[in-house]
Structure 1
Amino acid sequence: MTRKDQARLYTISDLASEFDITPRTIRFYESEQLLQPESRESHGTRHYGERERVRLKLILRGKRLGFSLAESKSLIELYNADSDNTEQLQRFLELIELHRRQLQRQKQDIAVLEQELDLAEQRVRNAMPGSTAN
């Protein structure tokens, strides 16, 4: 069997470099049981297969979308258990809707805070000596 016939393996450094994260981040995901190296050499070098590379990509995508690690983990576990991915896709849609509602609430909260800051700023400016509003 040639090297080309073997499944591609990645070191922790390979994955950290590819995804612009630290090896410590990958070790953290391991400790949270989100990733599992396929093998470890006697001197501790971890090797990850394509499956773990894809899982890492999904974890980081979920993070960018605002998903918690628990939410990402549940989606990944559904992927492994659901042969046609229907349950996973449905859960993904639910999480998207949940996060969309949270973002809408945050946008409303920010708008209210901006109005309060504008009012506070105006009161302070009006209270300053020499203000034309006095």
Structure 2
Amino acid sequence: MSTSSPDVTSSVSGSLPRQRRTYSIGELARMFEVTPRTIRFYEQEGLLAPERRGQTRVYHEKDRVRLKLTLRGKRLGFSLAEIREVIEMYDAMPDGNARQLKRLLEILGEKRANMERQLEDIRLMQRELDDVESRAREVLDRLARQGA
């Protein structure tokens, strides 16, 4: 789609009006290497709100940024509710404020603590696997010596 429509506000120099970049669902899907179905799902969950022109979805820069934040949040292990909360905080106050930043830091701290617990669980499992493997090798060596 890649259409541009003039913005009502003019550039700082006062010359030509700025152009607003829009995206089709296919363009965003290719840009972020996701399926259109994924984008529609995030729209259904209230994370994206494209403009509608008939049956066509028209995504603006705000939607592109929200999709980028959503995908980054998912990679970091955020739930959709957590992603929505962070995005809505920033929508409410575009310049950010102390309350928003404190909440974001709380969420990040919770994620970090959870990852540390998961890492410790993985280390414990590795030690248990090492122990089982070592015992199995000892038994196998003993059986091999007995059979020889």
Ranges in structure 1 where 5+ consecutive residues have no aligned partner: none
- Worse overlay, 120-129 or 108-117: 120-129
2:112 is equivalent to residue 75 of structure 1? no
Residues paired across the two proteins, number = 128
Query: Pairwise CA RMSD of aligned residues?
Result: 1.7
Task: State the secondary structure of the residue aligned to 1:66.
Answer: coil
Q: For residues 116 and 94 of structure 2, what CA distance do their matches in structure 1 show?
A: 34
**Greater Rg, structure 1 or structure 2?**
2
Task: State the secondary structure of the residue aligned to 1:115.
Answer: helix
Q: How far 1:59 moved relative to its partner?
A: 0.5
Greater relative contact order structure (CA < 8 Å, 6+ sep): 1
Q: 1:35 to 1:103 in 2, by over 3 A?
A: same
Q: For residues 93 and 132 of structure 2, what CA distance do their matches in structure 1 show?
A: 54
Q: Which residue of 2 aligns with 1:36?
A: 49
- 2:136 equivalent among 121, 124, 130: 124
Q: Which residue of 2 aligns with 1:16?
A: 29
Q: For residues 131 and 82 of structure 1, what CA distance do their matches in structure 2 show?
A: 73
TM-score calculated relative to the size of structure 2: 0.79
Deviating beyond 6 angstroms after TM superposition, the runs of 4 or more aligned structure 1 residues are none
**Greater share of residues in strand:** 2
Q: How far 1:131 moved relative to its partner?
A: 5.3
TM-score calculated relative to the size of structure 1: 0.87
Q: How far 1:27 moved relative to its partner?
A: 0.4
- Worse overlay, 44-53 or 24-33: 44-53
Ranges in structure 2 where 5+ consecutive residues have no aligned partner: 7-18
